[in-house]
Chains A and B, each alone.
Chain A
Amino acid sequence: MWNWLGVVPFVAFALLFLILPTMQIVLGAFRSPDGGLTLANLQGLMTPNILGSYVISIKISLASSIIGCLVGFCIAAAITLGGLPRWIRGPLLTFSGVASNFAGVPLAFAFLATLGRLGLVTIVLRDWFGVNLYATGFNILSFWGLTLVYLFFQIPLMILIITPALDGLKREWKEAALILGATGPQYWRMIAFPILFPALLGTFALLFANAFGAVATAIALTGSSLSIVPILLFAQIRGDVLGDPGLGYALAFGMIVVTGVANAVYVWLRARSERWMK
């Protein structure tokens, strides 16, 4: 009868520091300066400038999560199914734990020190191989530069999440498929992939949200030269650079919508792909 009292502290905490602050933003996006309901804030987002920053943010998040998923999957498959020595696995998973948490400001420093204009790789390429990296159009402060940096935490995260799923693939399934005449690619396409699909999708959605909300790495890396949504919102919260508080709410609301849609797609596809399991 009084059992619910036990979760009161948790519910209070979640309301005060997670739900209500988020609701505040969502409601703020639809509120005019005098307190009435309005869609003007959201309409204010429809400038080429702001839409452009959403597009580039989504592109970076997509690129880094797609490549992160692919590369992470290959490495995870290599250590689980690829016939590598057993001892590689433990250190690699530990390292993935470290690297997936090594985001933010120091990660940006690491890449500036490596691929910046005076970085180790840039200098080695120049002095030893005669390749001027920056003359090829490469720049660490660009779309592909930021994507490359984000991969440093995206790939390990993928490895950490997908390795248990790959461990769950039973050897018998592959043997049964091969005995029935399936080829290797057929086994992957018709058996392993459908089984792994929910896990792959879930990780993809997580990686996407992870990259989309990343603020610290981008700011430490590019200052404000690359106009992605988190940087724009950061500047807006700091000093109302857009000159309209309502627009700040709308910008933040847009971020929730994007990560929310990514996760809704995941939940929907997952429900679909798991239907056959019942």
Chain B
Amino acid sequence: MNRVWSWLALAVGLVYFFLPLLGTLEFSLRKRKGEYSLDAYAAVFADPAFQATLGYSVLMALLTIVFGVLLIVPTAYWVRLKLPRLRPWVEFVTLLPLVIPAIVIVFGYIRLYNTSSFLPLTGSAMGTNMLLMFGYATLALPYMYRAVDTGLRTIDIGTLTEAAQSLGAGWVTILARVILPNVLVAVLSGAFLTFAIVIGEFTLAALLNRPAFGPYMQLLGANKAYEPAALAVIAFAITWACMGLIQLVTRFSKHTRASA
């Protein structure tokens, strides 16, 4: 009896989740009248705006990841090692982006960093790009911090730090050559998740007027019929690849640890 209900719940879930994917795939192949073709994909890939916006978003995602790692790994390490009393507070701050809607945060950016403010970031394209990158880092903060902090919990950072110090290592060496390699899997998990979030992000990029992939998709959706479905399939493939990579690095690390 129990098992029947379980299969039923699973079946309902499967139907709900696979129909939209199937529908999107089918729709994306319908561009040519009367037969299935890859015309919609060809049109998307040939669009220079597609290449430009996707390239821009990939670059932003990579910069966000680099910045996030440089900011969060030392912070999480330091808080665990020297300031454990601050941990609940830091954790609280890192969870705030889940509570404050992104649209409110970016609204604040626009008002706080306008051309007549103390830090006129929105005055130039470069400044706006930086602001967008910081915004993405804010959105990724909850995921990145939790991933790194969980990674740090599994290693004895106190002993590792003392061992490195007694061998004459400075803080930079300790972080780069002792701590980071030990939490690399956690960092990579956070990084791929950040990539998946940034690549299709719409609200921040649209309101800061940057030529990112999210606003491009929205624009195409308002003007074309079949290309949006093709874009959705591509976006789903990117998300899937990111999650697959997380699984892969996690499994890989378990394997090496088991054989060591």
Contacts and interface: CB of A to CB of B under 8 A. Distances in A.
Contacts of A22: 100, 104-105, 108
Interface residues of A, number: 78
A95 B19 CA distance: 14
A97 interface: yes
Nearest to A3: B82
Nearest to B26: A120
Contacts of A109: 24, 217, 221, 228-229, 231-232
Q: How large is the interface on B (under 10, 10 to 19, 20 to 34, 35 or more residues)?
A: 35 or more
Given A113-B24, A151-B16, A152-B20, A255 B104 contact: yes
Contact of A112 (B228, B239, B242): B228
A198 interface: no
Contacts of A18: 93, 96-97, 100, 105, 138, 141
B17 A99 contact: yes
Contact of A21 (B10, B75, B105): B105
Interface in B154-201: 193, 196-197, 200-201
Interface of A: 3-4, 6-7, 9-10, 13-14, 16-25, 28, 71, 74-75, 77-79, 82-84, 88, 92, 94-95, 97-99, 101-102, 104-115, 118-121, 151-152, 155, 206, 209-210, 212-213, 215-216, 219-220, 223, 230, 233-234, 237-238, 248, 252, 255-256, 259-260, 263
B98 A209 contact: yes
Given A79-B10, A109-B221, A252 B104 contact: yes
B52 interface: no
A121 B39 CA distance: 22
Contacts of A230: 101, 103
Nearest to A213: B101
A114 B232 contact: no
Contacts of A99: 17
Contacts of A107: 232
5 contacts: A75-B9, A88-B10, A101-B239, A106-B232, A114-B19
Report, nearest first, the 6 A-B pairs whose CB atoms are least far apart.
Answer: A21-B108, A82-B6, A213-B101, A114-B23, A216-B202, A113-B27
A78 B14 CA distance: 13
Contacts of B207: 234, 237-238
Contacts of A215: 101-103, 202-203
Contacts of B197: 101
Contact of A83 (B2, B97, B206): B2
Contacts of A20: 108, 112
B71 A121 contact: no
B22 interface: yes
Given A21-B109, A104-B214, A110-B23, A84 B7 contact: yes
Interface in B214-260: 214, 217-218, 221-222, 228-229, 231-232, 235-236, 239-240, 242-244, 246-247
A75 B229 contact: no
Contact of A9 (B71, B228, B236, B242): B71
A171 B7 CA distance: 21
A105 B218 contact: yes
A84 B110 CA distance: 51
B99 interface: yes
B111 A13 contact: no
Contacts of B107: 21, 25, 233, 237, 248, 252
Contact of B243 (A24, A79, A101, A114): A101
Given A102-B239, A104-B201, A17 B101 contact: no
